[in-house]
Structure 1
Amino acid sequence: MLSAYYLYRAVDYRFLHADRLGPSLFNKQLWYFSHALLALPVVFGAPLQFLPKLRQSAPRVHRWIGRTYVIGASGAATLAIYLGATTEYEGSRLSIVLTGMLWLFFTLAAWKAAVARNFVAHRAFMIRSYTLALVLVWLRVMYDFQDQLFFYVQDEELRDATREWASWVVPLLVVEFWISWLPQVKSNKSFKSKPLRGST
């Protein structure tokens, strides 16, 4: 429900205001529409992939949803790179391009891990990929609470750029802490090193 609400907000912002869509069909308009259409099955189909019962009872459905996700996310990420590089907001260009590049890499890495039947790596990369797929949600949430989150940034353009960066860096850091850093810390605690030879 939250994703649907913020997707509506994103559509309202970009597509229901003519001045934000681009000057012509082949100058941004087509690419914005294509990006949105490719992202739709990604945002709403991916949650099904994390249901253990679906993977166990209907593995073929799981695989087809996964293929749809890879195609949609790869296309949407590629278009995000282009749209980010050509956006009129200079402070957002690098952030959007990096988001698209990482999203594309995580998606393809998840697909490659699944083909190799390395399902531990597949799950980790899928979580990372879907985290970046939800950037539109994180961005709108941070916008709604920007006075509380970014009260220390008074300049409006600088606040927009800060929010753009935080919308993917913060969620990705949280995910990395959960799936990578925390397990390593726990494993280090349980590891007892042997004393060096000759030490007392």
Structure 2
Amino acid sequence: MTDSAATTRSRPLIDPRKALSFAGALWFVSAAIGQLAFVIHIAAQYYVSTFRGDFERMDEGVIYGFISGDLLGNALFLSHVLLAFWITASGPLQFIPQVRNRFRTFHRWNGRFYLTVALLTSSGALILSYLRPHFGSLALLFVNTADGVLIIAFGCLALRAALKRRFDDHKRWALRLFIVVSGVWFFRLGYGFYFFITAGEMPGSHNLSGPADIAVASTWIVALAGLELYLSAQRRPSGGLKMAAAAMTIAAAGAVLVSSYFAAHMFWLPTPAA
């Protein structure tokens, strides 16, 4: 056997680096599709209602929307749902290589806009969580508070890395920021996936206080852990780790698509008239 034949035979059929890169791109496309559905829902539910002055319709699907006499809380609620459109629409654009490489000025200004809106919405959501009556369990409040705090922390770390021109670190912190900023979206996906695996039974879910509700609210934590595994596989030379992370990411992409479909039917699509 020649050396070239031995080298050819020992070379893996699938390049682990390419497999991991493909899996990451597949997950991103799946997430972009799911977030597009969420963006359309926000526009149809909240922007149309705002333009019409139909604030009662804006209360549909939320526990505490507009409360009579609560000027600060109502202002925070309205700004939160309206800004959610812009942050959800602008976030995925930051991670498209063609946009980042060919339109650098847009990438920088869109990143500044995204970070500013992220800090505003997370700060407002934290204030709203403790300003208004508590709903659900204390565990749910803790999970949501942790999400808001991490948005602020990851945003500051992403900005710091960019200012110091450590662009690899900046990209990693920006990806982490994207995950925690999408916490509300992941919350909906969690219910969509739970509905799928339980065939609509959804045991353990009760007024945001059941164990299933807490698990669903923690979906963003699972996504963040998956991202850390993906980033670790990128940095390490192990082909086995890269292939394992690629398989996990492909499975996650499928879960995102399935969850988005069921979440759309549960939360985002109009309810047919009886």
Return the offset for 1:152: 8.8
| 1:15 aligned residue | 58
Residues 178-199 of structure 1: CA deviation (Å, up to 9, x unaligned): 113x24554699xxxxxxxxxx
Higher relative contact order (CA 8 A, sep 6+): 2
SS of 1:28 mapped into structure 2: helix
**Equivalent pairs, count:** 188
| 1:116 aligned residue | 164
1:28-177 alignment runs, 5 A limit = 28-86=73-131, 88-91=134-137, 92-147=140-195, 148=197, 154=204, 156=206, 157-158=209-210, 159-164=212-217, 166-177=218-229
Is the Cα contact below 8 Å between 2:158 and 2:169 reproduced in 1? yes
SS of 2:71 mapped into structure 1: coil
Name the CA distance, whole Å, in 2 between partners of 1:56 and 1:185.
25
Is the Cα contact below 8 Å between 1:78 and 1:100 reproduced in 2? yes
Q: Where in structure 2 are there 5+ consecutive unaligned residues? A: 1-32, 47-56, 241-274
SS of 2:91 mapped into structure 1: helix
Question: Residue 85 of structure 1 aligns to which amino acid in structure 2?
Answer: Y
Is the Cα contact below 8 Å between 1:81 and 1:98 reproduced in 2? no
Name the CA distance, whole Å, in 1 between partners of 2:204 and 2:136.
18
Is the Cα contact below 8 Å between 1:82 and 1:97 reproduced in 2? no
Q: Does 1:178 align with 2:210?
A: no
Return the offset for 1:37: 2.6
Q: Where in structure 1 are there 5+ consecutive unaligned residues? A: 190-200
**TM score, norm. by length of structure 2:** 0.59
Return the offset for 1:27: 4.9
Residues 78-134 of structure 1: CA deviation (Å, up to 9, x unaligned): 112223334522422111111000011111111111111110111001111111122
Return the offset for 1:9: 7.0
Name the CA distance, whole Å, in 2 between partners of 1:133 and 1:72.
10
Question: Residue 187 of structure 2 aligns to which amino acid in structure 1?
Answer: L
Name the CA distance, whole Å, in 1 between partners of 2:126 and 2:238.
37
Name the CA distance, whole Å, in 2 between partners of 1:126 and 1:77.
15
Is the Cα contact below 8 Å between 1:84 and 1:94 reproduced in 2? no
Return the offset for 1:162: 2.6
SS of 1:117 mapped into structure 2: coil
Alpha carbon RMSD of aligned pairs, Å? 3.1
Is the Cα contact below 8 Å between 2:194 and 2:202 reproduced in 1? no
**TM score, norm. by length of structure 1:** 0.79
Question: Residue 89 of structure 1 aligns to which amino acid in structure 2?
Answer: F
Q: After the TM superposition, which of the residue ranges 171-180 and 46-55 deviates more from structure 2? A: 46-55
Return the offset for 1:155: 5.3
